[in-house]
Amino acid sequence: MGNSKSGALSKEILEELQLNTKYSQDELCTWYQTFLKECPTGRITKQQFESIYAKFFPEADPKAYAQHVFRSFDANNDGTLDFKEYIIALHMTSSGKTNQKLEWAFSLYDVDGNGHISKVEVLEIVTAIFKMISFEDQKQLPEDENTPEKRTEKIWVYFEKKDNDKISEGEFIQGIMKNKEILRLIQYEPQKVKERLKEKKH
């Protein structure tokens, strides 16, 4: 029954994913078939994840960001994602509830997994995000956040931290809840790109 290679998604996983994401049964089953075509073993490697991510951002270099996203969702640290981890990754990065998203964002920024975020870690993720922003779009950014260093500095100032301070998960979530500006600075928003594409179609 639970054989992941059978081409059918187990009822338990299907029910759990429907409960925890906004996807319908049909969508999940279709995605599962596609997933098995790409990953016949039923598991996706970091390299495969990077190449899937690259298709979403053809004009950018999402490799570094994809690696961090992969790390944050590889719950058991085995170097692969199964279908459940993969779908939860898709859901959380695109449409998760704010609190879930912030918990995920914390694990994304907590590069070494020690339960705290340092300024160096913020810079690492922000640098990866900048690789996905086209030069044209970078030119449109405000003067005080148009480089990874400036954006990191701005985030750190919002959190009222000194250079060597650390941020705990509670502080991170509270700080963002209080100041939506931080949320904008810590995430990459492909939504803007989608909106621009819609405008072109009209």
pLDDT in tens, 116-158: 999 999 999 999 999 988 888 888 889 999 999 999 999 999 9
pLDDT tens digits, one per residue of 78-116: 899 999 988 888 787 766 677 888 998 999 999 999 999
What's the pLDDT at 179? Answer: 92
CA 132 to chain centre: 13
Highest mean pLDDT among 36-45, 161-170, 178-187: 161-170
150 token code pair = 């400036």
Give the Å distances, CA to CA, from 199 to 8, 36, 133, 158, 192. 39, 35, 19, 33, 11
pTM beyond 0.85: the answer is no
